[in-house]
Amino acid sequence: MRALSRIIIAGLILATLLWLRGQFFKLHQSILALDRLSQDGGLLSNHVHSNSTNASSTAVEDPFRAVMHAISNTLLNGTIENLATPKSGLRDTRTKVVVVAKTAKEHTQWVARMLPNWKHAIYVTDDRKAPLHTARNKGREANAYLTYIIENYDNLPETIAFIHSHLSSWHNDQNAAKALQLLNIDFVQKNGYANFRCHTTPGCNPAEIQPFRNKKEQARIDKHEAATENAFAQAWTDLFNSTVVPEQIGVACCAQFAVSRDQVLKRPLSHYIWFHSWLMDTSLSDATAGRVMEYLWHIIFGQDPVYCPKVWQCFRNVYDQWDVFS
């Protein structure tokens, strides 16, 4: 009888341990989810979107997700606190703004929640009733970026970061909030431009855009890249007043970067107005025009046509992280 009781007790203990293991696994997965958050703005569960009227959007969290959300943010903030240096976006006190390009259906609640020490300028490209918006939904993120510069040219903060609406994506080396909080403001001010992506593919291995590539070689590359290459020489001529078109243009994708106010002001306002006019008036498709601009930002802001620092050098410069070697 005692033996049977011991077996039953042991079985109950084992079942309890297995149940607890499952619960801790779920907890662990929920915490890890922070770095994989999609563009819904976090672990918010039920969103009510604003319609064409002036109704504001609200969000409701279920209790479990609210707890996990708080734990995840605490862990991420602790990681950033440990990594951030005095010259990082988390601690540096110089004026700075993050400019976000989004559509009406994309959620950006994470910007205010996770970047409280940055000013925010969130531009909606397809809702002209939004507080900040573009005149037309054309040109992808380039439209929002240029609109911000044109509207604020005479009152720019010392550092301006331009990003997409999503917190995490395949083309981010780390989630956008972490990148902005770790951003080395000293490097941005010294170099004038800092690309948020350090890994060099796509964009740099080899240089992505080669306007004079022969047709046989071009047949082997991605169709979107080929369309951008075919459009690039004429676009360069239009945008930069017929100056010599580079043979190679390379930069790590995907049009998310920071610039200094001084670097922006090295070009007169008329240049940015012209770039924006070209973007609005070009007969190129929306995707191709946007990709052309994607491979021009680093040049617009003072860098060589091929701007492809080593991965380790980028992490040291842009994030002041010295333990990345590949």
Judged by phi (left if over 0) then psi (alpha if -120 to 50, else beta), residue 170 lies in: alpha
Tokens of 323: 């333990």
Alpha helices, DSSP H only, in the chain? 2-32, 63-83, 109-114, 141-152, 176-182, 185-191, 215-218, 223-239, 261-264, 269-281, 286-294, 297-300, 311-319
Across the range 8-20, mean pLDDT stands at 70
Query: Quick one: pLDDT at residue 323?
Result: 82
The maximal CA–CA distance of the chain, rounded, in angstroms, is 96
**Quick one: pLDDT at residue 24?**
58
For residue 200, pLDDT beyond 80? yes
Place of tokens 């369309």: 227
Please determine, for residue 77, whether its predicted confidence score (pLDDT) is greater than 60. no
Q: How many CA atoms lie within 13 A of 74 on its CB side?
A: 7
Q: Are 274 and 239 in contact (CB under 8 A)?
A: yes
d(CA 193, CA 172): 17
Task: Supply the pLDDT for residue 214.
Answer: 85
137 pLDDT tier (thresholds 50, 70, 90) = very high
At residue 253, the pLDDT reads 93
Angstrom distances, CA of residue 148 to CA of 99, 167, 272: 7, 20, 10
Please give the pLDDT value at position 72: 52
Locus of tokens 């070209």: 278
Residues 6+ apart with CB under 8 A from 61: 43, 44, 45, 46, 69
* pLDDT on residue 164: 96
Q: Is the pLDDT of residue 241 over 60?
A: yes
Q: What is the mean pLDDT of residues 92-114?
A: 96
Q: What is the pLDDT of residue 50?
A: 31
Taking 50 as the threshold, does the pLDDT of residue 303 lie above it? yes
The pLDDT of residue 324 is above 70:
yes
What are the boundaries of each domain within the chain?
A: 75-319
Strand order in the sheet with 96-102: 119-124, 96-102, 159-163, 257-260, 193-195
- Helix or strand run (H / E) with residue 115: none
111 with 120: CB under 8 angstroms?
A: yes
Q: Whole-angstrom Cα distance, residue 129 to residue 149?
A: 20
Asked if 196 contacts 173 with a C-beta cutoff of 8 angstroms, the reply is yes
pLDDT tens digits, residue range 40-65?
A: 333 322 232 333 323 333 334 455 55
* 236-252 exposure pattern, b = at least 16 Cβ within 10 A, e = fewer: beebbeeeebbeebbbb
Average pLDDT score, the chain: 83
Contacts of 288 (CB under 8 A, 6+ apart): 224, 227, 228, 231
Q: Which of 14-28, 257-271, 291-305 has the lowest mean pLDDT?
A: 14-28
Nearest alpha-carbon partner for 207 in 309, 315, 308: 308
On whether the CB atoms of residues 212 and 191 are closer than 8 A, the answer is: no
Residue 274, classed as helix, strand or coil, is helix
